[in-house]
Chain A
Amino acid sequence: MAEQQSYYVPASSPWPIVGAVGLGLIAWGAGHTVIDMSKEQDGYGSTVLTIGLIVIAVMLFGWFRDQINESMSGKYSNQLGDSYKQGMSWFIFSEVMFFAAFFGALFYARVIAVQWLGGDSNNAMTNEVLWPEFVAQWPLVKTPGGTETQAMGWYGLPAINTLILLASSVTCHFAHTGLEQNKRKQLTAMLGITIILGCIFLYLQGAEYVHAYQDLNLTLDSGIYGNTFYMLTGFHGMHVTLGTVMLIIMFLRVLKGHFTPDNHFAFQATSWYWHFVDVVWLCLFVVVYIL
């Protein structure tokens, strides 16, 4: 409930429209990049996309710079802080639903689509007429169309990566408590370790992809098993990358002496985001790798 105080309404800002132009250029450019790639032609797609990305980078830099300056000069009310926290929570919820679409696709493919292609439910004739040789199994190492691949085990790299990401969530938490108790050394050290762990995770994930492509013939286009594997781990990896960038920015701000024990929304949001990518990984590790 609002307190009896004057409201703070932010002044007008050029950054939203810059952001809209940037997103527009990205969408337009990305669409044409994909088309150019499929036709193996040189088009303007990638140029537009690059400009769009630069515009968004400039927008993010400018918007956050203004935001940080306004915050550091004490302009913000507690109410605005609450708005930011709630906004971030709902944003993470939307991210959860984005991943839910791909987890849903994995579930449907595994429990329904593949089984039905193998003749389950009332689909005996589907199997008989379309692909009589096809045997339903998961991981789907041989598709009805005949593409063969190998399954990715959960031990080795994925298990190590799980431990790394779990550990990074713990260090991130201790960085946060360090900030709250004004133990700046703990904050800096723990945040630094979190970033290093995040980078190691990304490196190992890359190594795992190389191993999958070279040794297992597990590729993005090797049927529904490869599709779900790469889309889930890929989007997760993109989120870890974004999270790591956010952590690095927090690290730089910590070094500059930003944040106080009771005013550190940006740090809190980054930490929530990091825990979120960690939880997604745990779900992913269980349903993509182990089961």
Chain B
Amino acid sequence: MSTVVEETHHDTHHDHKPSGIGRWLFTTNHKDIGSMYLWFSFTMFLVGGAMAMIIRAELFQPGLQLVEPQFFNQMTTVHGLVMIFGAVMPAFTGLANWMIPMMIGAPDMALPRMNNWSFWILPFAFMILLGSLFMEGGGPAFGWTAYAPLSTTYSSDSTALFVFSVHIMGISSIMGAINVIVTIMNMRAPGMNYMKMPLFVWTWFITAFLLIAVMPVLAGAVTMLLTDKYFGTSFFDAAGGGDPVMYQHIFWFFGHPEVYIMILPSFGIISAIIPAFARKRLFGYSSMVYATAAIALLSFLVWAHHMFTTGMPVFAELFFMYCTMLIAVPTGVKIFNWVATMWRGSMTFETPMLFALAFVILFTIGGFSGLMLAITPADFQYHDTYFVVAHFHYVLVTGAIFSIMAAAYYWLPKWTGHMYDSTLAKTHFWTSLISVNVLFFPMHFAGLAGMPRRIPDYATQFADINQIASIGGFAFGLSQLIFLWVAIKCVKGGEKAAAKPWEGAEGLEWTVPSPAPYHTFEKPPKVE
């Protein structure tokens, strides 16, 4: 893709880092901010994971054992919110912060102070959201989608805090996205034209556009919830001429592009890792770019496939069904391109590659179950069952999360300057791979057999399946502690990493030493 003809020289005296807590509070450095995003994200991953453990523990047996149904609902709701807005999205923003400037030959993000602001909003937003769990009446319990009237007429007062914390999370995401998009448009090194950019940069470019387009719509939607609950409006109340289904339309107009916000950067990561370990150029680079753009554009036309059972006119059901199925085409292009990249490559199976391969296979399973859900008449059966839960956990856990793990294992040597313990890392991979399938694969069957989602109790015929899933869940949760161990060990020390620890890796980030100097590319590198 790109080769550097002029080695950049680094002034060592520029490389001193500010010390103390002030470094982290006042920083304008993309690497520091990236690290803070990544650690924040992992913390939230553990918090959201702990909630998942409570859910799986309650579902271990039929009947009510551990928690009250109302608390169970709070757990499913906040688990979703924390994982989406606290774990996956900040992880991608962290990766963008670390990697995009290095990949395009820029010294930093375009708007470094705003960058720090976007990060530091997040801890406050999540303190408010998580704090609301301890309020009188409990935290949000209406599902992460916050459907009216569950979130208006029938919700507790924590709704107000939910709304405002979502607002500031949105501000953070929008500022982060503006920063990414402006960095890419404005900070590329000479010669780094658009069609030479690594795919991670391309996918984030498009993701940032999606974020700026839909986060404000979410802000609008939750604002209407707030005024409906507290200020007497009736946007989502038929007695005043509104419609609860209207909330779902506005929400999913945000929500469906949001789904791609959480997967497009993954596509970029996988497109970096597979060529590196297959030692071949990425097959079909430009088709990857066009496919990403096509997915993003289509994502604005498919939102109502989440609402097939709400009684829309048949024309709308058909329109959204066909548009949804169309998405399989550009996504298929990507899957085939990855497979074609590996075709006759000299493959090796280091940890990042293992996660990337698992991603390709398991994300495809999630994609196919998505295709099943896209079929309107079939969806009437699957809607709100565990089949849906299985589907979106395949795309989000074995999709998004696995790609984040792959990215971490791919770039950790660059970040820390040390190689990690690859035996431990591979242990993390295999335990995660096995447990995640034990956890989520049986859910398909539970769903097809009719087990509804978001319930603390279930009919006894689902007992075995749930027990298996719960065992997988506990194992998957524990496996992630191995990752924490690997990461801390790697930060603290280990075998020294070369500038390019992976033989087949390509890109500007591998032309700088490991660990990457505090300031990279103060003079732009030349890209041919």
> Which A positions have Cβ atoms within 8 angstroms of B?
1-4, 6-7, 9-17, 19-21, 23-24, 26-28, 30-32, 34-35, 37-39, 63, 79-80, 82-84, 86-87, 90-91, 93-95, 97-98, 100-102, 104-105, 108-109, 112-114, 116-117, 121-122, 130, 140, 143-145, 147, 220-221, 223-227, 231
CA distance A17 to B118 in the complex (A): 9
Residue B114 at the A interface, CB < 8 A? yes
B177 proximity list for chain A (CB < 8 A): 90
Residue B50 at the A interface, CB < 8 A? no
CA distance A109 to B519 in the complex (A): 53
> Which B positions have Cβ atoms within 8 angstroms of A?
18, 22-23, 25-29, 106-108, 110-117, 119-121, 123-125, 127-128, 132, 157, 160-161, 163-165, 167-168, 171, 174, 177-179, 181-183, 185-190, 193, 212-217, 219-221, 223-224, 226-227, 230-235, 238-243, 245-246, 249-250, 253, 313, 519, 521-524
Q: Which 5 A-B pairs have the closest CB atoms?
A: A101-B220, A24-B124, A221-B232, A20-B120, A145-B239
A226 proximity list for chain B (CB < 8 A): 233
A105 proximity list for chain B (CB < 8 A): 220, 224, 235, 246, 250
**New contact pairs (7) apart from A2-B186, A31-B164, CB-CB < 8 Å:** A2-B187, A12-B18, A16-B114, A102-B220, A113-B242, A145-B234, A224-B234
Q: Choose among A17, A21, A24, A84 the residue that contacts B116 (Cβ–Cβ < 8 A).
A: A17
Closest partner residue, chain B, to A25 (CB atom): B124
Main secondary structure of the interface of A (DSSP, over half): helix
Please determine whether B178 and A14 come into contact, CB atoms closer than 8 angstroms: no
- When A31-B164, A109-B241 are in contact, do A227 and B212 touch as well, CB less than 8 Å? no
Which of A91, A113, A121 is packed against the most chain B CB atoms within 10 Å?
Answer: A113
Q: Choose among A1, A97, A117 the residue that contacts B216 (Cβ–Cβ < 8 A).
A: A97
B524 proximity list for chain A (CB < 8 A): 2, 4, 7
Please determine whether A27 and B242 come into contact, CB atoms closer than 8 angstroms: no
- When A7-B522, A94-B216 are in contact, do A220 and B113 touch as well, CB less than 8 Å? no
Please determine whether A10 and B28 come into contact, CB atoms closer than 8 angstroms: yes
- When A7-B107, A31-B128, A101-B250 are in contact, do A227 and B242 touch as well, CB less than 8 Å? yes
**Closest Cβ–Cβ distance, residue A128 to chain B (whole Å):** 14
Please determine whether A97 and B217 come into contact, CB atoms closer than 8 angstroms: yes
Please determine whether A93 and B212 come into contact, CB atoms closer than 8 angstroms: yes
**Closest Cβ–Cβ distance, residue B385 to chain A (whole Å):** 26
A79 proximity list for chain B (CB < 8 A): 186-187
B183 proximity list for chain A (CB < 8 A): 83
Please determine whether A109 and B164 come into contact, CB atoms closer than 8 angstroms: no
- When A1-B188, A93-B213 are in contact, do A143 and B240 touch as well, CB less than 8 Å? yes
**Closest Cβ–Cβ distance, residue A267 to chain B (whole Å):** 19
- When A20-B117, A221-B231 are in contact, do A10 and B112 touch as well, CB less than 8 Å? yes
Please determine whether B25 and A14 come into contact, CB atoms closer than 8 angstroms: yes
A37 proximity list for chain B (CB < 8 A): 230
Closest partner residue, chain A, to B162 (CB atom): A31
Give 21 CB contacts A-B under 8 Å. Answer: A7-B108, A9-B522, A14-B26, A17-B117, A27-B128, A27-B165, A27-B167, A27-B168, A31-B128, A94-B174, A100-B220, A101-B217, A101-B219, A102-B224, A105-B250, A109-B235, A112-B243, A114-B241, A130-B238, A221-B234, A231-B224
CA distance A37 to B245 in the complex (A): 28
**Closest Cβ–Cβ distance, residue A166 to chain B (whole Å):** 25
A12 proximity list for chain B (CB < 8 A): 18, 22-23, 26-29
B239 proximity list for chain A (CB < 8 A): 143-145
Please determine whether A87 and B128 come into contact, CB atoms closer than 8 angstroms: no
Closest partner residue, chain B, to A221 (CB atom): B232
Please determine whether B161 and A28 come into contact, CB atoms closer than 8 angstroms: yes
CA distance A96 to B69 in the complex (A): 40
Q: Choose among A11, A20, A98, A121 the residue that contacts B124 (Cβ–Cβ < 8 A).
A: A20
Q: Choose among B174, B185, B221, B232 the residue that contacts A101 (Cβ–Cβ < 8 A).
A: B221
